[in-house]
Amino acid sequence: MMLPRRRVVLLAACSAIPCAGATPAQVGALIQALVGEAPLKDGLIHLDLPVMVENGNSVAMTVSVSDPPSPVEAIHVFAEGNPLPRVAVFHFGPRSGAPRVSTRIRLATSQTVIAIARLRDGSCWRDSVDLLVTLAACIE
């Protein structure tokens, strides 16, 4: 199909607009809303992501909590540089063998990914990974 020249120019301009990413401040607000008054400590939770990502369309991610002092209620994952910062929320039940999940995620750009674990005793634990993305998930 032939496109009128003006339309082609317009399309080129549209596709050149980078995906508007979330900001660390937005993610900070989300985490604040999630954690509330509870203390947020580093450690316990482990977020496993490659530091160098070749293809942002599919990045293997594993989150786990080792030896939690009380059962893990949920693990929240946030990506600071994605258009939508929320990645996934994992809620664990009584039949969960271990608080560990692996999946594959999309990353729009080089950024920091944050995982927050919330335990039944109310304490929250945090881990983050700074990574470099060579091919972003937004440009396809």
Q: What does the binding site for other proteins look like in residue numbers (CB under 8 A)?
A: 10-11, 14-15, 19, 57-59, 79, 82-84, 86-98, 100-107, 137-138, 140
For β-strands 59-65 and 45-48, DSSP reports them as antiparallel
Instruction: Identify whether the C-beta of residue 80 lies closer than 8 Å to the C-beta of residue 27.
Output: yes
Which lies closer to other proteins via its Cβ, residue 43 or residue 93? 93
Report the Cα 54 to chain-centroid distance in Å: 17
Instruction: Identify whether the C-beta of residue 69 lies closer than 8 Å to the C-beta of residue 121.
Output: yes
Which lies closer to other proteins via its Cβ, residue 17 or residue 25? 17
Instruction: Identify whether the C-beta of residue 120 lies closer than 8 Å to the C-beta of residue 54.
Output: no
Which lies closer to other proteins via its Cβ, residue 3 or residue 41? 3
Whole-number minimum distance, CB 23 to other proteins, in Å? 16
Whole-number minimum distance, CB 108 to other proteins, in Å? 8
Whole-number minimum distance, CB 21 to other proteins, in Å? 11
Which lies closer to other proteins via its Cβ, residue 58 or residue 134? 58
Q: What does the buried/exposed string (b/e) look like for 53-63 if buried means 16 or more CB atoms within 10 Å of the residue's CB?
A: beebbebebeb
Whole-number minimum distance, CB 26 to other proteins, in Å? 14
Tokens of 125: 């634990």
